[in-house]
Amino acid sequence: MTAARTPDGRIAIVTGGGSGLGRAAALALLGAGWSVAVAGRRKDALEETAALAPVDPGRVLAFPTDVRNPQEVAALFDAVRERFGRLDLLFNNAGAAAPRRPVTETPLADWNRVLDTIVTGGFLCAREAFRVMSTQTPQGGRIINNGAPSAHVPRPHSAAYTAAKHALLGLTRVLSLDGRAHDIAVGQIDVGNVAPFDGGPQPAALQADGRTAVEPTIPVERFTEAVLLMASMPLDTNVQSLTVLPTTMPYVGRG
């Protein structure tokens, strides 16, 4: 059985950490005592995330990274190991969206960008995390992939995003299996509608029957609480899959 380590002093990487759910997760981890490397393509956004954390600046590393680029991903993990000495958590959060269009009107460029970011980027980051976590002392760590309800049930006109999230779920499962030998626990969080970060109204969403409807939301704190729950588990315990969504959001029986 793997002994649990206290959260204080543990090290995390959060991809897509310059905004949205990635920023929220990074700040929550920092608030819980972790040191965090925030990665993303926009240096200014990463530095803004770091500045929002009321912690010792030495606990935050803003490292510009395009997760689609294997050399940049490797450089990120090398920098974390050099700065902090180890890695305890990878939150694989970087994503990409595309305008919702019928499949016949979906540009190949949109398909490639979404799949490259979510699937290939997730794989590249997980591969580097395995390399670090399997060779460090003490061995092991945790990977949390940020999925979506669309990993299980699609929305209309979302071929690229739905395919990417389904593929990420498959990646989560195989990494969970392969990680057993190295004390690497791998799980996925699928979060539903989170209230807009700017405080504005929730936009209407296209439903399967052709209607549009404004769906319920949850505050971002429900999401960060779930991430912290998963991250806090000892490595002999894995939250394989966690779905968090508004009680009345269309999901069970969607469509």
Active-site residue numbers? 161
Question: Integer distance in angstroms from the first to the last C-alpha of the chain?
Answer: 44
In this structure, what are the phi and psi dihedrals at residue 96, rounded to the nearest 5 degrees? -150, 145
Residue 157 to residue 162: CA distance in whole angstroms: 9
